[in-house]
């Protein structure tokens, strides 16, 4: 079973992932693109990575914006898997 992070560990993770914010028991970030197809391309890349690591975000697409929400259901909140996947998402966005 995956361990839920402590409050201090979550705060430390957010220091490293400055574009992400805490939203309840999840972390969230909105990514902006030039158009809808840019959003869809990003979501497809995120989906591929999610399958590779077996960690799946909640995804909201609003035209040229994609909001990802991460939490670990098995842990009942945030785990190291969420921050590792957030780093993957940031790398995919950076290109």
Show the domains of the chain with their CATH numbers. 7-94 (3.30.1360.20)
Q: Could you report the per-residue pLDDT of 38-95, keeping only the tens digit for each?
A: 999 999 999 999 999 999 999 999 999 999 999 999 999 999 999 999 999 999 999 8
Residues in CB range of 2: below 8 A, 6 or more apart: 72, 74, 75, 79, 80, 81
What is residue 1's predicted lDDT score, i.e. its pLDDT?
78
Q: Could you report the per-residue pLDDT of 29-49, keeping only the tens digit for each?
A: 999 999 999 999 999 999 999
Cα 9 vs. chain centroid, distance in angstroms?
Answer: 16
pTM: 0.95
What is residue 61's predicted lDDT score, i.e. its pLDDT?
99
């Amino acid at each position: 079973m995956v361990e839920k992070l402590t409050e201090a560990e979550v705060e430390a993770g957010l220091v490293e992932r400055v574009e992400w914010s805490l939203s309840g028991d999840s972390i969230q970030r909105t990514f902006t693109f030039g158009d809808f197809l840019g959003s869809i391309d990003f979501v497809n890349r995120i989906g591929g990575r999610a399958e590779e690591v077996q960690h799946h975000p909640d995804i909201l697409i609003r035209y040229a914006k994609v909001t990802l929400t991460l939490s670990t259901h098995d842990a009942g909140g945030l785990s190291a898997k969420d921050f590792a996947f957030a780093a993957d998402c940031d790398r995919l966005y950076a290109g």
